[in-house]
Structure 1
Amino acid sequence: MSAAHALLRAWPVDPRDNLPLALWDSAAIEAATGGTASHAFQASGIEMDSRDVRPGDVFVALIGEAMDGHKFIPAAFAKGAVAAIVDRPVDFPHVLVKDTTEALHALAHAARDRSPARRIAVTGSVGKTGVKEAIFASLDRASRGAAHRSVRSYNNHVGVPLSLARLPARAKFGVFEMGMNHAGEIAPLADHVRPHVALITTIAPAHIENLGSMEAIADEKSQIFTGLVEGGTAVIPADSEYAPRMIEHARKLGVKIVTFGRSADADVRLLDAIPSANGGSLVTADLGDARVCYSVAEPGEHWIANSLGVMAAVRAAGGDLASAGLALAEMGGLKGRGARFDIAVAGGKALLVDESYNANPASMRATLRQLGQTPAHRRVAVLGSMKELGDFAYDFHRQLAEPIAEAKIDHVILVGDEMRVLAGELGKPRSNSLGIRPGFAHCEGPDEAIEALEAFGLTHGDAVLVKGSNSVGLGRLVKHFTSAPG
C-alpha cells in the first residue's frame, strides 16, 4: 500500500460528513411536514417574508391575522424562490400541507433533531440580542464557521421556529434569542429549541405593563429553563435581586446551574475590570478552576456583566474560551443597539451612538451612564418614549432626570408623549438632587427631533446618544444624520 493510500485510509471519519449539504430538499420537507411536493428541488434557505427572499430559498406562505402569505408567492419567486410551502395548490413549485404554520414548526423540529449542534437559548429584559451575537461570534470562530444563530430579533412565536428551521444539518452550534410580551410565551419557544444551555441576561421592567410586576417578569423569563434537555445548564445573573427566584425555578427542574456576575458566590465571577483606551474594558474573571483575562470592545458596565454571561454560556456549551475572548475584543455595536458613527458636523466630527431599537428604564440608565463616561466636548441625549410600561410609565420616565444629571448631559431632546413628564421634571428650578439643569426640548416625533437637533447645532467633539423604543421611530433620525454627506 502506498503512503498516499495509507493516509486516505487513516482520514478521520466524521458522522457529520453523511449529513446533507443542502439546507432542505423536497423529500426532507415532505417527510418533516407530511406534505406533498409538486416538484423535486433543493433549497439553501427558508424565508417567510417575500421581500427578504434570496435565490434558492423556500418561501413559507404563513397566514396571519391581517395577511395571507399566499398573496406574495409570485413576488417570492420573482426574487429567486425555488419552492413555496402552501395550504392550497399554486402554479409554482410547492409543497402542499394542511397548515403552513404547523409545517414551519415541523421543519423546525426536524432541523433540531437531525443536527448534532449544541443549542444555546438566550433571553432577558436587556441585552439579549447583543449577548446572542457575542455567543455566536465566539462559537463561530471556534468551530470555523459551523455555528448558526437567529438573525435580527427573530425571537417570537414565528421568528424562533423560522430560525430553528434554518439550522444546517452540519452545524456544531446554534444560538437562539427568545423574547416575550406576555406571560406564557417563553415556554413554547424553549420547547421548540430544546436548548442544552439557557441564559438569562438580566431582569428589568420591560413589558411590565403586561406582566404586572418584576417578580412576574423573572418568573416568565425563567420558563426558558423548562425546555432544557436532560443534563442542560441554566446560566443566571448572580447580581440580580431576582437571582434566588430564578435559581429556584432551575433547581426544581433538576438542571445544572451556573451563575455569573460580581457577587462573591458567582460561579463566573468578575475579579477586575479596567477601562481600555478604545472605550471598552480589560476584564479578569474567575471561573472556579481557571482565570481568564480578555478585552471587551463594547463600552459600558453592562457589557462587562454581559461578557461574563457569554463566557459562562460558551463554556457550558463546550466552546473555546480563548475564541470567546477574541470575539468579545472584536465585536462592534449592532444597528440600533450601540452602533457608533462619526458624523460630519461644524468644525469636524461628532460621535453618534445608535440605541434606537429598544428602551426600558434599565437600559436607559445604563446607556446614559455610558454617555456620561464618554469623553466629549458636549453630551447630547435624544431620548424617545419607553413603551409597554403601563401604570408605571409616569414614574419611570420622570425618574430619568436623575441619571441625566449624573451623566452631566448638556442637552436633551425628548421625543414622544410619555416624555412630557420628564420635560416637566427637567424644567423645574432644581430638577434633581445635583441641582443641574440641562438644556432640553420636547418633540412629538422623529421629524421634529431632527429639526431640534439641527437647531441645537452639533460641533466637533460632541457625543450624541439616540435611544428609545423602536415604535418611536428614532431610527429615522439616526439614518438622517449618518447618511448626510461628510
Structure 2
Amino acid sequence: MQLMHKGSALVTDQDIGENPSVIEHAKRMGLRLITFGPHCNAQVREMGFHNGNLQIGMGSLRLGISLQSDGHHMALNAQAALAALHALGYAPAQVQASLAHWQPMIGAGQPQLLPSGICLLDHSLSNHLLSMTAAFSQLQSVAPHVSRRLIVLAGIQPGQASIDAAQLALEPLVRDAQARRVLLYGEPLRPLAAALGDLLHVNWYDDLNQLICSLLRTTHKGDTVLLAGRATTNLALAADAIRDSFSGHGGHLIASIQAPCFDPHQKQMNMHS
C-alpha cells in the first residue's frame, strides 16, 4: 500500500479489507478499497455458489455466472476479476460473458472427462498443503464411491518444515480418501509410503516411467484419477499419459513405455510386501 499512488484502488478479499489497520492506512494514503467475497459488506459479494453457478451482488445489481472451472477458489478468482474490472470502471455486464468461458490452466484441477469414461483431476501444479487438501475434497465430491478413486502423489513444498515432515502431512488425506490405489512418486515420499505401510493398496516408485506404466494398467472406465504434486516433479507427464492413452489415440504411447516397466535395474517398493 505504501508503494501505491494516491487515488489508486486496492482490490482485496473482504477478510483483509475489513481489517481496521488496512482501512486506516488506505484513508491515510488516499486509496480506494474494493473488496470481494462471501461477506455482507463486500462490494462484489458472493450471494451463492453451487456446481459452478456463481451468484454475485454488486449494490442493487445481481449477476449470475456459470463458471467452467471447478472449486470455490476459482469462484473467488472470478470475484477478484470482477472487482478489479469494477475498480477500472468497466460495467459488470461487459465481463460476464468472458468469465463464463474462463478455464484454469492445465494442471490447476479442472475436471476432464475423457472419451473412455475416465475423469482426470490434474493438480500437477499443486505445491502446497492447502491446494492439496482442496484436491482431495474435489476427488471425494467427483467420485463418491471409493472403489473408483485412484491417487497419484508427488509431494508438496516443505515450507518451514523439513521436507520429510511436510510430506507426512499428506497421510491423513490419503487415509480419509480410501482410494482403490495410491501411487507415490519420488524419494521425498518414501517416508509417507512407510507411514502408510499398513495399507495394501499403496505403492511407491522412484521412477516416473514405471509409475505411469502401473497407473495405465490399473485405470479402468468409470475411474476418477487424481494427480497432485509439485510442478518440479514432472507429474504432468503422468497426466498427459492418461489423456493420450484413454482418448482413443494413445496406443502408441502405451507401447512406447512398456519396456522400462520390466527393467530389473529399476526400483519399485511396495511397503507392505
TM-score between the two structures when normalised by the length of structure 2 = 0.76
CA contact (8 A) 1:260 1:269 kept: yes
Answer whether contact 2:216 2:242 (CA < 8 A) is retained: no
1:328 deviates by: 2.4
2:47 matched residue in structure 1: 271
Indicate the SS of the match to 1:266. Answer: coil
Amino acid at match of 2:107: G
Within the candidate set 178, 183, 193, 1:413 is matched to 183
Q: Which deviations, in whole Å up to 9, do the C-alpha atoms of 1:340-384 show, x marking residues without a partner?
A: 44446xxx3312222223421111111211121114661222111
Q: Does 1:288 align with 2:64?
A: no
Q: Distance in 1 between matches of 2:76 and 2:108?
A: 16
- Equivalent residue number for residue 167 of structure 1: none
Counterpart check, 1:247 vs 2:22: yes
Structure 2 unmatched ranges of 5 or more: 251-273
Aligned to 2:107: 336
CA contact (8 A) 2:55 2:62 kept: yes
Match for residue 452 of structure 1 among 208, 214, 220: 214
Deviation of 1:332 after TM superposition, in Å, equals 2.7
Query: CA 1:264–1:334 in structure 2 vs 1: closer, same or farther (change >3 Å)?
Result: same
What is the distance in 2 between the residues matched to 1:453 and 1:312? 42
CA RMSD of the aligned region, Å? 3.0
The alpha-carbon distance between structure 1 residues 440 and 238, as it changes in their structure 2 partners (threshold 3 A), is farther
Q: 1:351 aligns with which of 87, 104, 119?
A: 119
Q: CA deviation at 1:412?
A: 2.0
Q: 1:361–1:273: structure 2 CA closer, same or farther, 3 Å change rule?
A: same
2:93 aligned to 315, 322, 327, which one? 322
Larger Rg: 1
**Structure 1 residues 311 and 404 mapped into 2: Cα distance closer, same or farther (>3 Å)?**
farther
Note if contact 1:412-1:440 (Cα within 8 Å) is conserved in structure 2: yes
How far off is 1:307 after superposition?
2.0
Q: Residue 473 of structure 1: CA displacement?
A: 0.8
Rounded to whole Å, the distance in 2 between the matches of 1:330 and 1:426 is 41
Q: Which residue does 1:372 correspond to in 2?
A: 140
Any idea what the Cα deviations from partners look like across 1:257-306, whole Å, max 9, x if unmatched? 1222223433322221222xxxxx21222223433222111111222222
Letter in 1 for 2:156: M
Which one of 154, 176, 180 corresponds to residue 384 of structure 1? 154
Give the aligned partner of residue 472 of structure 1: 233
Q: Which amino acid aligns with 1:474?
A: L
Matching residue of 1:257? 33
Is the 8 Å Cα contact of residues 423 and 441 (structure 1) preserved in structure 2? yes
Tell me the residue number matched to 2:84.
313
The answer for the alignment partner of 1:160 in structure 2 is: none
**How far apart are the structure 1 equivalents of 2:54 and 2:237?**
35
2:70 alignment counterpart: 299
User: 173, 182, 205: which one pairs with 1:443?
Assistant: 205
Higher RCO (Cα < 8 Å, 6 or more apart): 2
Q: Is the 8 A contact 2:158 2:166 kept in 1?
A: no
Unaligned runs of 5+ in 1: 1-224, 276-280, 429-436
